Amino acid sequence: MNIIIFGPPGAGKGTQAENLVKDYNLFKVSTGDLLREEINKETKLGIQIKSSISRGFFVADDIINTLIENIISDSANQNRMLFDGYPRNFNQVKKLDLLLNKYNQKIFSVINLNTDRDTVVKRLLGRIVCLKCGSTFNKFFKPPSKSGHKCESKHLITRSDDNEKTIIKRFITYEEKTLPILNYYKKQNLLTNIDGMNKIDEIYKEIRQIMP
């Protein structure tokens, strides 16, 4: 089955996607990964991508669509694709429909991790990482002091790229872009909203319920 997963930054989408990939043998289709892979392999497309990124441009939809078609046309991926971070705009939605049709593929379900602004801010602002052992914590939800963490506190760092203004701006942009896409899938009865403010394993339990 092919799945699309949506959620704002900080909704824990990456973790849930990983769970699904592992438990249902899905193939994660992330445009970020595809672009990086193309750049690393130094393909003709990869060189083009690298040049737009280095000049500060967005990667054109045409390039994204070509990469996505490469994935969908490959029978090894068919009926097991988990789209993560794609489609990102309405052009991509339409293109995805065309490609799915062309290769006789269907979307089984569209999962939306519904998360409010405050939760996202707290999750991202509260992030703490231990540089010694790699454990992650959260100042609000999972403080290292209460998690039985043994390393000295000097190893703990907060992520400096997550300041509140940036987080809120990213959240608003995400909502504006994603709402019309969610409505589109809702009209086709494909959308399932999942409470992204729950604990991670509770969220995953809910996701499992919609899987066959």
Which parts of this chain interact with Zn ion (CB under 5 A)? 130, 132-133, 151
Task: Return the structure tokens found at 63.
Answer: 């390039």
Q: Tell me how far apart the alpha carbons of residues 19 and 10 are, in angstroms, rounded to a whole number.
A: 16
* 159 has catalytic annotation: yes
Q: Tell me how far apart the alpha carbons of residues 204 and 212 are, in angstroms, rounded to a whole number.
A: 14
Work out how close the CB of 152 gets to Zn ion at its nearest, in angstroms, rounded to a whole number: 8
Work out how close the CB of 121 gets to Zn ion at its nearest, in angstroms, rounded to a whole number: 25
Alpha helices, DSSP H only, in 55-89? 61-72
**Residue whose CB is less far from Zn ion, 151 or 172:** 151
Q: Residues with Cβ < 8 Å from 83, sequence gap 6 or more?
A: 2, 3, 4, 5, 29, 96
Q: Tell me how far apart the alpha carbons of residues 64 and 83 are, in angstroms, rounded to a whole number.
A: 13
**Residue whose CB is less far from Zn ion, 43 or 147:** 147
**Residue whose CB is less far from Zn ion, 152 or 176:** 152
The residue from 50, 80, 142, 170 that is catalytic is 170
**Taking a C-beta distance cutoff of 8 angstroms, is the pair 57, 93 a contact?**
no
* 208 has catalytic annotation: no
The residue from 28, 95, 123, 127 that is catalytic is 127
* 88 has catalytic annotation: yes
Q: Tell me how far apart the alpha carbons of residues 135 and 150 are, in angstroms, rounded to a whole number.
A: 11
Work out how close the CB of 128 gets to Zn ion at its nearest, in angstroms, rounded to a whole number: 10
Work out how close the CB of 124 gets to Zn ion at its nearest, in angstroms, rounded to a whole number: 20
**Residue whose CB is less far from Zn ion, 128 or 130:** 130
**Taking a C-beta distance cutoff of 8 angstroms, is the pair 50, 14 a contact?**
no
The residue from 102, 132, 150, 159 that is catalytic is 159
Active-site residue list: 13, 88, 127, 159, 170
